[in-house]
């Protein structure tokens, strides 16, 4: 996965769980860097987790005003299902560990970061997806991924991105809905609606599609986009440019270089493609490249589907 959901147990922020305050701060800085690169944090019990940590007298001073504030500012934290029972204000670390395990069992793709103190209390059946904060430097990083050129494979990677992004830019010069290689692209757009839970369903992401009119009539392209996407109930801004080559997915959470865009291969083949994470600098540069006020490309048409 290029981006994953993580639960973090509150003891990770507790100075007393480390040799000293300085070491705790260093681990939290590494945690922040890791989350900002490739993770979404679950605010367990619909926000009670972050509130509990902010109130805890044992949390590192950076926790409230730097770590959690940055998670929120960067869109890296989301309300998670409520598996709490009783008075949360009286919770101990063991209670939060139990909540994290319940969430993990309901959402098995989730990973959990905890302290060494809590790892020893875990049932062996869940050990593989629990990461001790003390080993964060060796957490597996995934800068690229190989996957089959099939919609199902794409959706596996895109699900958390679609679910939690505030903005999505589909950039592909060959993205013509009438082309056979893009015959299932509508399924990707449908997944944006399907994957967003009730809490964020009303907060529809800003969606842009950037394509080019190479070997195609812009008016025909416009008619096809409107006909095939209007039923989705999504507000989509489509930009048709004169010419460009590279293909990307850009969201507020991640930028991905798409080797062959959103095209799919023959269903009987096992042809693969490579998706690669972009650096923050490159992601921002691409956003500027495809902004209508600053793009080096010539804009042929722009329209909104609503």
Mean pLDDT, 10 residues at a time, the chain of 306 residues: 93 94 95 93 95 95 93 93 88 93 90 86 73 88 92 94 94 92 95 70 84 88 94 94 95 96 87 94 96 92 94
Give the pLDDT of residue 200: 53
Annotate 82-147 with three-state secondary structure.
CCCCCCHHHCCHHHHHHHHHHHHHHCCCCEEEECHHHHCCCCHHHHHHEEEHHHHHHCCCCCEEEE
Supply φ then ψ for residue 159, to 5 degrees: -50, -55
Sheet with 272-277: strands ordered across: 144-148, 272-277, 255-258, 248-251, 167-171, 206-212, 236-241, 299-305
- State CA 281 to chain mean position distance: 18
Among 85, 111, 138, residue at a domain's last position: 138
Domain shared by 182 and 292, yes or no:
yes
Alpha helices per DSSP H over the chain: 21-38, 48-55, 62, 68-73, 93-106, 116-119, 151-164, 185-195, 198-201, 218-229, 280-289
Among 96, 120, 138, residue at a domain's last position: 138
Please report, in angstroms and rounded to a whole number, the separation of the first and last CA atoms in the chain. 32
Instruction: Report the residue count for the chain.
Output: 306
Contact of 42 with 7, CB cutoff 8 Å: yes
Q: What is the largest CA-CA distance in the chain?
A: 66
For 57, the domain range is 4-138
Domain shared by 188 and 150, yes or no:
yes
Domain shared by 68 and 195, yes or no:
no
Is pTM beyond 0.85? Reply is: yes
As for how many domains the chain has, the answer is 2
Domain shared by 165 and 298, yes or no:
yes
Among 81, 115, 138, residue at a domain's last position: 138
Give the pLDDT of residue 129: 76
Supply φ then ψ for residue 210, to 5 degrees: -115, 120
Give the pLDDT of residue 197: 56
């Amino acid at each position: 996965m290029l981006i994953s959901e993580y639960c973090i147990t509150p003891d990770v922020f507790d100075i007393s769980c480390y040799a000293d305050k300085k070491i705790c701060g260093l681990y939290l800085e590494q945690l922040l860097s890791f989350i900002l690169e490739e993770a979404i944090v679950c605010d367990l019990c619909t926000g009670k987790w972050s509130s509990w940590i902010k109130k805890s007298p044992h949390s590192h001073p950076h926790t409230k005003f730097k770590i959690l504030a940055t998670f929120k500012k960067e869109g890296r934290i989301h309300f998670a299902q409520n598996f709490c029972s009783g008075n949360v204000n009286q919770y101990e670390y063991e209670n939060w560990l139990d909540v994290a395990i319940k969430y993990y069992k309901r959402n098995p793709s989730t990973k959990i970061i905890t302290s060494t103190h809590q790892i020893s209390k875990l049932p062996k059946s869940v050990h593989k997806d629990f990461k001790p904060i003390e080993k964060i430097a060796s957490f597996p990083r995934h800068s690229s991924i190989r996957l089959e050129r099939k919609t199902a494979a794409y959706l596996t990677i895109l699900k958390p991105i679609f679910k939690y992004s505030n903005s999505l830019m589909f950039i592909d010069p060959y993205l013509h809905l009438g082309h056979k290689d893009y015959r299932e692209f509508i399924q990707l757009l449908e997944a944006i609606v399907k994957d967003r839970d009730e809490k964020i369903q009303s907060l529809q992401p800003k969606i842009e599609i950037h394509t080019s009119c190479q070997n195609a009539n812009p008016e025909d392209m416009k008619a096809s986009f409107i006909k095939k996407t209007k039923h989705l109930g999504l507000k989509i801004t489509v930009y048709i440019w004169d010419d460009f080559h590279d293909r990307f997915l850009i969201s507020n959470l991640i930028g991905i270089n798409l080797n062959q865009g959103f095209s799919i291969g023959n269903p009987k083949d096992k042809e693969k493609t490579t998706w690669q994470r972009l650096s923050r600098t490159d992601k921002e540069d691409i956003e500027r490249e495809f902004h209508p006020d600053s793009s080096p490309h010539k804009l042929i048409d722009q329209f909104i589907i609503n």
